[in-house]
């Protein structure tokens, strides 16, 4: 058997040369000083492969046209097995890849590994960093939700400020006349068709150059016997990749990537914000107004990239130990402080309404169609801990009582309210205790339970806490005696569906305190609500769908 395997390996080697190439790769000589500080390149390549794999998996169910793109993303997240995990891996993998590539560049910079004869290797790394950022920029639009749409509006507007090239860049990105189908097609083409093959080619060239010139040894290490890449450094790279994947997988499982509502170009209240790694640039633009805007958007970033590319030609001195490279450490520290300061300032200056919890449209949203009374019923359902004895749609509960989503057990509201008050009288032998709520509260609970069915149960019971709390405030203060929500209530005042398109958060909150000031002639009394109740109520009203 062993002889047969050897014969097969020899045949493959003779026909392809692959086994020999692998051996040469694994048993290459590397400096004795090589160690964990040089694992970032391998981790970056691994994360790029993860992006390719997850991108392909997502593409199997993705529709690359604006409206269909949004619906297909929702379909991936709510219907496709493993869809949410794939999107999480792709989203957080993009962020991790940027972090790792930057760390790789910092490590090379601090050690001076860009010096002769490795200038081209460094410049290729700078280009790969720019390509990594380009993936983040072009992929941002593809979910086609509000966040993606308005973030891309900002990006194309910045590109339009480029001296001389501004109009051409705008046309190239399809931003002429606004963000639309052409823009989407251009960004999708760049993200999926153009950037990947270019990146693969440049990674191959980058690795070839690393192998050609070798890993940069520490000063004085030239006379120390070299070691093989395998097994010691391979183990360190593998361990680093494993740790990176554990972090990535944990993020994908534990931190949900939100999906906002379908892109609405008419939404003038939306505050656009780029991804976290572009926030520093977004904040820097605030220091340059009018004609100087191009300085912040193009000149300074361009000079920074040019300086990075020219680093090997600016610093042409002999390599010294990393502990003596104080100037390099100072540059890295200043860059880190500048980036951190600008990013923190951008987060701190984000308007309150932009920081408030957004509706996650990647989860079922049938709860948005409930009336305020039915939503208040969700609050009472949770307050009374009904799931401790009942299941809903086959989930939760110890099944002491029946499944509340089973339509075969539904009675009318009057029967259910009486059952809540005197369970023993309606169902002799039941262990259910009486529910101590008022008649209006019991009516809300009954209204919610009557709405349940096996198809919508999970979506309704999964309503966000802020919306449930807000609806409870709405119902408690009898707002439905003057307003309509989802068709329920009286139209003395305006219908509150679509309020987010008409008013800002601050206007609504101030209106509660002094209605006649903001709506002259209004008969609405002032409401001095506690801050938490006011925040929940406003957030709930802004979550209501258009009618």
Cβ-proximal residues to 481 (8 Å cutoff; 6+ apart), any chain = 489, 490, 492
Structural domains of the chain ordered from first start: 2-259+285-355 (1.20.810.10), 366-543 (1.10.760)
Count how many residues are written for the chain. Answer: 547
Beta bridge partners of 485: 488
Q: What is the mean pLDDT of residues 214-232?
A: 82
Name the burial class of residue 10, with classes exposed (0-12), middle (13-18) and buried (19+) by CB atoms within 10 angstroms of its CB. Answer: exposed
Q: At what angle do helices 195-213 and 119-139 cross, to 10 degrees?
A: 160
Query: E-assigned strands of 96-194?
Result: none
CB 240 within 8 A of CB 247: no
How does pLDDT run across 163-212, given as a tens digit for each residue? 888 888 888 888 777 788 999 999 999 999 999 999 999 999 999 999 89
CA neighbor of 279 nearest in space, from 363, 198, 341: 341
Q: What is the mean pLDDT of residues 216-240?
A: 85
Q: What angle do CA 334, 336, 341 make, to 5 degrees?
A: 95
| 231 upstream amide cis, omega within 30 of 0 | yes
What pLDDT was estimated at residue 397?
Answer: 62
Give the whole-angstrom CA distance, residue 517 versus residue 49.
59
Core vs surface per residue 466-497: b (16+ CB within 10 A) or e = bbbbbbbbbbeeebbebbbbbeebeeebeebb
| Chain-centroid distance, C-alpha 98 | 14
- Model confidence band, residue 362 (pLDDT cutoffs 50, 70, 90): confident
What pLDDT was estimated at residue 355?
Answer: 47
Instruction: Answer with the residue of higher pLDDT: 360 or 285.
Output: 285
- Model confidence band, residue 304 (pLDDT cutoffs 50, 70, 90): very high
Name the burial class of residue 404, with classes exposed (0-12), middle (13-18) and buried (19+) by CB atoms within 10 angstroms of its CB. Answer: buried
CB 132 within 8 A of CB 206: no
Give the whole-angstrom CA distance, residue 13 versus residue 8.
9
How does pLDDT run across 34-60, given as a tens digit for each residue? 889 899 999 999 999 999 999 999 999
Cβ-proximal residues to 418 (8 Å cutoff; 6+ apart), any chain = 425, 426
Give the whole-angstrom CA distance, residue 227 versus residue 536.
63
pLDDT at 353 over 60: no
């Amino acid at each position: 058997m062993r002889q047969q395997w050897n014969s097969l390996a020899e045949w493959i080697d003779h026909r392809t040369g692959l086994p020999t190439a692998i051996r040469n790769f694994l048993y290459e000589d590397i400096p004795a000083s090589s160690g964990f500080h040089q694992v970032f390149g391998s981790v970056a390549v691994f994360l790029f492969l993860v992006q390719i794999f997850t991108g392909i998996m997502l593409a199997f169910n993705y529709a690359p046209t604006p409206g269909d793109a949004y619906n297909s993303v929702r379909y991936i997240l709510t219907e496709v097995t493993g869809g949410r995990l794939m999107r999480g891996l792709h989203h957080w993998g993009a962020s991790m890849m940027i972090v790792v590539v930057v760390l790789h560049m910092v490590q090379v910079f601090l050690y001076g590994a860009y010096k002769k004869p490795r200038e081209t290797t460094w410049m290729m790394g700078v280009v790969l960093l720019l390509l990594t950022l380009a993936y983040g920029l072009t992929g941002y639009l593809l979910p086609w939700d509000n966040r993606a749409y308005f973030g891309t509006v900002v990006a194309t507007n910045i590109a339009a400020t480029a001296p001389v090239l501004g109009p051409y860049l705008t046309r190239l990105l399809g931003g002429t006349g606004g963000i639309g189908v052409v823009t989407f097609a251009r960004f999708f083409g760049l993200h999926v068709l153009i950037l990947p093959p270019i990146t693969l080619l440049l990674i191959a060239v980058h690795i070839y150059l690393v192998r050609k010139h070798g890993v940069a040894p520490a000063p004085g290490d030239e006379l120390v016997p070299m070691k093989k890449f395998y097994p010691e450094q391979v183990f360190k790279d593998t361990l680093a990749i494993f740790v990176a994947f554990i972090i990535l997988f944990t993020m994908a499982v534990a931190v949900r990537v939100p999906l906002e509502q379908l892109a609405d170009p008419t939404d003038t209240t939306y505050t656009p914000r780029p991804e976290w790694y572009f926030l520093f640039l977004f904040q820097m633009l605030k220091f340059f107004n009018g004609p100087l805007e191009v300085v912040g958007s193009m000149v300074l970033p361009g000079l920074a990239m040019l300086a990075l590319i020219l680093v090997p030609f600016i610093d042409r001195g002999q390599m010294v130990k990393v502990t003596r490279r104080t100037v390099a450490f100072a540059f890295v520290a200043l860059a880190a402080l500048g980036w951190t300061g600008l990013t923190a300032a951008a987060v701190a200056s984000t308007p309150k309404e932009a920081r408030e919890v957004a509706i996650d449209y990647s989860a079922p949203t049938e709860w948005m169609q409930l009336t305020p009374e039915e939503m208040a019923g969700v609050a009472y359902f949770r307050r009374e801990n009904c799931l401790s004895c009942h299941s809903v749609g086959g989930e939760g509960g110890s099944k002491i009582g029946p499944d509340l989503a089973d339509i075969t057990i539904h009675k009318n509201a009057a029967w259910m309210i009486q059952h809540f008050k005197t369970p023993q009288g309606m169902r002799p032998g039941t262990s259910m205790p009486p529910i101590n709520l008022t008649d209006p509260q019991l009516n809300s609970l009954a209204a919610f339970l009557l709405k349940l069915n096996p198809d919508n149960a999970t979506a309704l019971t999964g309503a966000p806490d802020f919306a449930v709390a807000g609806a409870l405030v709405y119902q408690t203060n009898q707002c439905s005696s003057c307003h309509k929500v989802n068709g329920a209530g009286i139209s003395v005042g305006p219908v509150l569906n679509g309020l987010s398109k008409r008013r800002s958060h601050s206007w609504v909150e101030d209106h509660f305190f002094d209605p006649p000031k903001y709506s002259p002639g209004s008969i609405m009394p002032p409401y001095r609500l506690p801050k938490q109740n006011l925040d929940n109520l406003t957030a709930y009203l802004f979550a209501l769908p258009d009618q």
